[in-house]
């Protein structure tokens, strides 16, 4: 069982006070130190993973009404990733209060997956203790900034998504990508792709793969439509 001081400290860190402290204790108990795996945080982790996905999906759906399924899926996959969950756990200082077996605390670096599991277990514990709203508040208190980071840093550079949103919203059409040419040996081919929207063919672009060429062609179309300022960046992936 976690030390009472740890239970108190974690409640302050997560800004939530448990009605049933045994749930918090279970969330902080790793299988390496539990008397039985059923007494560890693994079951809470399983539940918390589902609650986290639900809350993030609902938030993305409400926050980005113009985003397509693929756009939201991309953002969600980064936000709920083990790296992101582990980063939140470490920022909060939760790992200092996790009950671990001596084999794990013997000086080696603690795996990212362990920190991520602790976060999901806490989500599950809060959900069981107080319901969905406290769990949602806990998740968004830290993950809202992660959503902003992913959306600003990655999604806005997805020219195909930007073009598709504009075309469907303003033109009532879906962009089509046509391969006009390809050159080079099989192991190092380059592709020329152009975007076609409602019969209008936009300037073509080359790329080291069809995917990269499509992104580059989408960028050219966005420029042509006046939606993107001149940018010398090339899309490589």
Alpha carbons 1 and 25: distance in angstroms, whole number: 6
| Pairing status of strand 205-207 against strand 190-197 | antiparallel
User: Which H/E stretch holds residue 219?
Assistant: helix 210-224
Does 25 qualify as catalytic in the annotation? no
Q: What CA–CA distances, in Å, run from 23 to 58, 67, 129?
A: 25, 37, 7
Read off the pLDDT of each residue in 170-176 and give the average, rounded to a whole number.
92
Read off the pLDDT of each residue in 34-58 and give the average, rounded to a whole number.
87
Q: Can you give the pLDDT at residue 36?
A: 63
Quick: pLDDT tens for 185-210: 887 889 999 999 999 999 999 988 88
More confident residue, 145 or 105: 145
Instruction: Please say if the pLDDT value at position 149 is more than 90.
Output: no
Q: Can you give the pLDDT at residue 234?
A: 47
DSSP per residue over 31-95, as a string? Answer: TTTSSSGGGSSHHHHHHHHHHHHHHHHHHHHHH-TT--HHHHHHHHHHHTSHHHHHHHHHHHTGG
Share of residues in the chain with pLDDT > 90 (%): 50
Does 237 qualify as catalytic in the annotation? no
Quick: pLDDT tens for 68-90: 787 788 889 889 998 899 999 99
Give me the domains of the chain, ranges plus CATH numbers: 4-156 (1.10.1520.10), 159-224 (3.30.160.20)
| Pairing status of strand 190-197 against strand 200-201 | antiparallel
Establish how many alpha carbons lie within 13 A of residue 24's alpha carbon, considering only the half-sphere containing its beta carbon. Answer: 23
Question: Mean pLDDT for the chain?
Answer: 85
Beta strands in the chain (DSSP E): 176-183, 190-197, 200-201, 205-207
Catalytic residue, candidates 45, 59, 120, 214: 120
Maximum C-alpha span of the chain: 69
| Pairing status of strand 205-207 against strand 176-183 | unpaired
The pTM assigned to this predicted structure is: 0.64
């Amino acid at each position: 069982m976690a030390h009472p001081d740890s239970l108190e400290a974690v409640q302050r860190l997560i800004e939530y006070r448990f009605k049933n402290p045994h749930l918090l204790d279970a969330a902080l108990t790793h299988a390496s130190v539990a008397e039985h795996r059923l007494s560890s945080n693994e079951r809470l982790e399983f539940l918390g993973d589902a609650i986290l996905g639900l809350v993030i999906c609902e938030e993305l759906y409400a926050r980005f009404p113009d985003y397509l399924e693929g756009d939201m899926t991309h953002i969600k996959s980064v936000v709920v990733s083990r790296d992101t969950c582990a980063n939140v756990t470490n920022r909060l200082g939760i790992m200092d209060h996790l009950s671990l077996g001596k084999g794990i605390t013997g000086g080696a670096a603690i795996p990212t997956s362990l920190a991520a599991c602790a976060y999901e277990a806490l989500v599950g514990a809060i959900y069981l203790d107080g319901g969905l709203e406290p769990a949602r508040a806990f998740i968004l208190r830290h993950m809202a900034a992660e959503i902003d980071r992913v959306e600003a840093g990655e999604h806005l550079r997805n020219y195909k998504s930007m073009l598709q949103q504009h075309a469907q919203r303003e033109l009532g059409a879906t962009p089509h990508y046509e391969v006009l040419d390809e050159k080079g040996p099989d192991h190092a081919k380059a592709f020329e792709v152009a975007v076609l929207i409602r019969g209008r063919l936009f300037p073509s672009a080359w790329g080291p793969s069809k995917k990269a060429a499509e992104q580059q062609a989408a960028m050219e179309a966005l420029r042509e439509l006046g939606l993107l300022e001149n940018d010398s960046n090339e899309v490589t992936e």
